[in-house]
């Protein structure tokens, strides 16, 4: 591994061995999830369905390492042990955002951005405890903003409050290769 999960940065761009081949496997996972998102084919295991008034704000799909053995082997061969793959499809709220939050189970991951239109991922410092799943504006303070670009890989700390703004008119789709979880 050429990256440090304990970095002070909540996210950073990284390079992987066999990146082009890994990218192809991850793109296929995203295409399958997008097909399910739009056509509700139920071919991919739905993990989260956050829908408000018929608007699919966020959906995630769980893929186990054994479901994609060639991809998993490529990662293990370079010292990356995936816990699972989570494909996220984000349309966002009517203001084109996904509110700041902390993920319940994931800690560190590698994130692959498949489809995006200049969305900005923001990280925050908690200034007082959150009152629900999402943070209110008075509970956090912005510390970092990143434009995570299509086709690239990033480390990601899911236990730092984060959200997404500027989600384009189309959905954002990415794969999280979960490396560590919260018990």
Average pLDDT of the chain to the nearest whole number: 90
Q: What is the pTM of this model?
A: 0.89
Which residues constitute the domain of residue 73? 11-178
Average pLDDT on 44-55 reads 86
- Residue 183: inside a domain, yes or no? no
Residue 6 lies in a domain: no
| pLDDT tier for residue 43 given thresholds of 50, 70 and 90 | confident
3-state secondary structure of 176: strand
Neighbouring C-beta atoms of residue 107, cutoff 10 Å: 18
Residue 152 lies in a domain: yes
CATH of the domain at 58: 2.60.120.590
What pLDDT is recorded for position 2?
56
- Tell me, yes or no, whether 101 lies in a domain: yes
Closest residue by Cα to residue 175 from 19, 11, 27: 27
What the block records as the tokens of 62 is 């769980």
Q: Is the dihedral of CA 78, 80, 84, 85 positive or negative?
A: negative
Burial class of residue 118 in the structure, from the number of CB atoms within 10 Å of its CB (0-12 exposed, 13-18 middle, 19+ buried): exposed
Assess if residue 89 is contained within a domain: yes
In a domain, 3, yes or no: no
Give the pLDDT confidence score for residue 145 in this predicted structure: 96
> Model confidence at 20, in pLDDT bands (50, 70, 90)?
very high
CB 45 within 8 A of CB 38: no
Which has more confidence, 51 or 140?
140
Domain count, the chain: 1
């Amino acid at each position: 591994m050429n990256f440090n999960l304990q970095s002070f940065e909540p996210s950073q761009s990284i390079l992987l061995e066999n990146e082009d081949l890994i990218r192809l496997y991850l793109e296929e996972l995203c295409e399958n999830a997008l097909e399910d998102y739009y056509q509700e084919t139920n071919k991919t295991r739905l993990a989260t369905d956050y829908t408000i008034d018929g608007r699919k704000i966020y959906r995630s799909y769980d893929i186990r390492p054994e479901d994609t053995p060639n991809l998993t082997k490529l990662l293990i061969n370079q010292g990356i042990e995936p816990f699972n793959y989570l494909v996220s499809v984000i349309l966002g709220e009517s203001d084109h955002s996904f509110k700041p939050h902390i993920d319940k189970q994931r800690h560190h991951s590698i994130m692959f951005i498949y489809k995006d239109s200049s969305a900005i991922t923001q990280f925050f410092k908690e200034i007082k405890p959150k009152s629900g799943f999402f943070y209110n504006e008075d509970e956090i303070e912005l510390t970092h903003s990143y434009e995570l670009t299509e086709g690239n890989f990033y480390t990601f700390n899911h236990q730092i409050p984060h959200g997404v703004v500027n989600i384009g008119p189309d959905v954002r789709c990415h794969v999280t290769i979960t490396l560590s979880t919260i018990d």
